[in-house]
């Protein structure tokens, strides 16, 4: 018998409570379990071409779902606001060590904060740390800037020269390409940048979290030989905690640590080389089918398809492809007047490469995409050219002939995708 707020709790109630804590998800919450199972089915039997997505390994997901979720630990290793943190301190230090090693960084010249919850919080922490009141952050306009859809390598040396001429820090957000950088298959931003941020779930193939790398030591030497030192470490660490975040997500740090270990293996390097080869195969196959690729090809894991020469847009094509079990995303192209009606579709190769697809498979994927876009054009021809997206979707959903075509393509896509193994946990 136990007491709660002065009231006794029966043994039956307490036994039921304890049973609830030990039940598997399928028994304890069949509704949530059912939704997860449906999502698992979608991932297995669909073509995941969203460039910012990947399939985390079983080991990463096991770490993410571990008892590290239970521990609160505001502060940094050795300087926590809670007791019982000896093991999370050990974990965070290990994650920091692996982060530097994975990108070939000297611990005397670089530091890393592994506590950001994801990429956007990491970037905001950087801005908070280094941009003073009335300071300026320089970027490019959304349709023209590439942002998360530029398929070529960046000229970091040129950017560093411009930053240096203006006394500015050069910050690189390598969220999309961090796995490629770790594998050494694309140029690294670390040679030229002062600060580098990244998410950990895209090409790095970890769980959802963020990392901030910052330079240490000498920043510059003037004509008289006087050294100016970087002071980024304290500024960034204080911006993350206590400035913008509370306790770190230790289960996520565990998952990131596992992913970073995997990123240092020969198998991971081979995987990233295949990511590049697959993206080139997809790009080439689509161009052979008459599609225009922004920048004319790809040096990394993604491409941006410009649909203006086809007479359609990304929003309409995305909806049709989604109905056919092909996941991608609409995206602005250079020259677009509005982000509300983007002209492009963005595709990426990391997720399907994690499932074992190679170049010939991606050529087949290109033909599935082509059939979906052809259906998009067919639907458009059946209605007013100025009809809004809402009416297009209604025509797609309610048109018997169109639904038959969708069903045909979807059945072929599901049969094709279902052949390939799925990383991660068996059920969830």
Summarised one tens digit per residue, pLDDT across range 296-351 is 999 999 999 999 999 999 999 999 999 999 999 999 999 888 878 899 999 999 99
State how far the Cα of 216 lies from the Cα of 229, in Å rounded to an integer: 7
Summarised one tens digit per residue, pLDDT across range 193-208 is 999 999 999 999 999 9
What is the CATH architecture of 266-417? Alpha-Beta Complex (3.90)
Residue 416: both structure tokens together:
């094709």
Cis peptide before 242 (omega within 30 of 0): yes
Phi, psi at residue 210, to the nearest 5°? Answer: -140, 155
Summarised one tens digit per residue, pLDDT across range 364-374 is 999 999 999 99
Topology of the domain comprising 67-263? 3.40.640
Q: Does residue 262 have a pLDDT over 50?
A: yes
pLDDT, position 338: 82
Active-site residue identified among 192, 201, 249, 251: 201
Q: 3-class DSSP state for residue 80?
A: strand
Residues 6+ apart with CB under 8 A from 35: none
Helix (H) or strand (E) holding 94: helix 86-102
How far the first Cα of the chain sits from its last, in Å, is 37
Where in 261-392 does DSSP place strands (E)? 292-293, 302-306, 326-327, 329-331, 344-348
Catalytic annotation present for 95: no
Residue of 231, 204, 238 lying closest to 95 (CA atoms): 204
State how far the Cα of 368 lies from the Cα of 46, in Å rounded to an integer: 11
pLDDT, position 5: 60
Summarised one tens digit per residue, pLDDT across range 225-253 is 999 999 999 999 999 999 999 999 999 99
Catalytic annotation present for 176: no
The mean of the pLDDT values for the chain is 96
State how far the Cα of 358 lies from the Cα of 417, in Å rounded to an integer: 13
Contact 426, 36 (CB under 8 A): no
Could you tell me the residue ranges of all domains in the chain? 67-263, 266-417
Q: Does residue 148 have a pLDDT over 90?
A: no
| The Cα angle at residue 286 between residues 41 and 299, in degrees rounded to 5 | 90
pLDDT, position 1: 47
pLDDT, position 6: 60
- Percent of the chain surpassing pLDDT 90: 90
State how far the Cα of 214 lies from the Cα of 355, in Å rounded to an integer: 34
Q: What is the mean pLDDT of residues 1-6?
A: 55
pLDDT, position 146: 66
Active-site residue identified among 149, 207, 324, 333: 149
The residue among 163 and 338 whose pLDDT is bigger is 163
Residue of 264, 268, 267, 296 lying closest to 280 (CA atoms): 296
Q: What is the number of other CB atoms lying within 10 angstroms of the CB of residue 136?
A: 8
Q: 3-class DSSP state for residue 173?
A: strand
Summarised one tens digit per residue, pLDDT across range 35-51 is 999 999 999 999 999 99
| The Cα angle at residue 374 between residues 301 and 409, in degrees rounded to 5 | 80
Place of tokens 């979720």: 69
Summarised one tens digit per residue, pLDDT across range 86-138 is 999 999 999 999 999 999 999 999 999 999 999 999 999 999 999 999 998 88
DSSP-assigned letter for residue 143: T
Pick from 72-76, 147-151, 213-217, 250-254: least confident: 147-151
């Amino acid at each position: 018998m136990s007491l709660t707020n002065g009231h006794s709790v029966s043994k039956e109630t307490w036994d039921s409570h304890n049973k609830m804590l030990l039940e598997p998800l399928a028994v304890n919450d069949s509704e949530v379990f059912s939704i997860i199972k449906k999502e698992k089915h979608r991932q297995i039997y669909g073509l995941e071409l969203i460039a910012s997505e990947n399939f985390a390994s079983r080991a990463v997901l096991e770490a993410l779902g571990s008892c590290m979720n239970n521990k609160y630990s505001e502060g940094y290793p050795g300087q926590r606001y809670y007791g019982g943190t000896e093991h999370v301190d050990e974990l965070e230090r290990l994650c920091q060590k692996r982060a530097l090693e994975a990108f070939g960084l000297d611990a005397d010249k670089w530091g890393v904060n592994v506590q950001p919850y994801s990429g956007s919080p990491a970037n905001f922490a950087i801005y908070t740390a280094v941009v003073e009141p009335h300071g300026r952050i320089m970027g490019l306009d959304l349709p023209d800037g590439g942002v998360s859809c530029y398929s070529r390598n960046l000229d970091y040396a040129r950017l560093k020269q411009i930053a240096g001429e203006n006394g500015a820090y050069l910050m690189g957000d390598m969220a999309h390409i961090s796995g490629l950088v770790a594998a050494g298959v694309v140029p690294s931003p670390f040679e030229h940048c002062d600060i580098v941020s990244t998410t950990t779930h895209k090409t790095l193939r970890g769980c959802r979290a963020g990392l901030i790398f910052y330079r240490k030591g000498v920043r510059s030497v003037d004509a008289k030989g006087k050294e100016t030192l970087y002071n980024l470490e304290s500024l960034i660490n204080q911006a993350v905690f206590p400035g913008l975040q509370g306790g770190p997500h230790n289960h996520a740090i565990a998952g990131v640590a596992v992913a970073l270990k995997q990123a240092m293996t020969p198998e991971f390097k081979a995987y990233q080389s295949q990511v590049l080869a697959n993206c080139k195969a997809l790009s080439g196959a689509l161009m052979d089918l008459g599609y225009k690729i922004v920048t004319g090809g790809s040096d990394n894991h993604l491409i941006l398809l410009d649909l203006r020469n086809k007479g359609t847009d990304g929003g309409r094509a995305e909806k049709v492809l989604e109905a056919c079990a092909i996941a991608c995303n609409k995206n602005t192209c250079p020259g677009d007047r509005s982000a509300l009606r983007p002209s492009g579709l963005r595709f990426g190769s990391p997720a399907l490469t994690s499932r074992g697809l190679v170049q010939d498979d991606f050529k087949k994927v290109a033909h599935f995409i082509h059939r979906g876009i052809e259906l998009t054009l067919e639907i458009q021809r059946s209605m007013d050219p100025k009809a809004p997206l809402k009416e297009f979707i209604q025509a797609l959903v309610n048109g018997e002939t169109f639904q038959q075509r969708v069903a045909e393509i979807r059945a072929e896509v599901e049969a094709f995708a279902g052949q390939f193994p799925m990383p991660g946990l068996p059920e969830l």
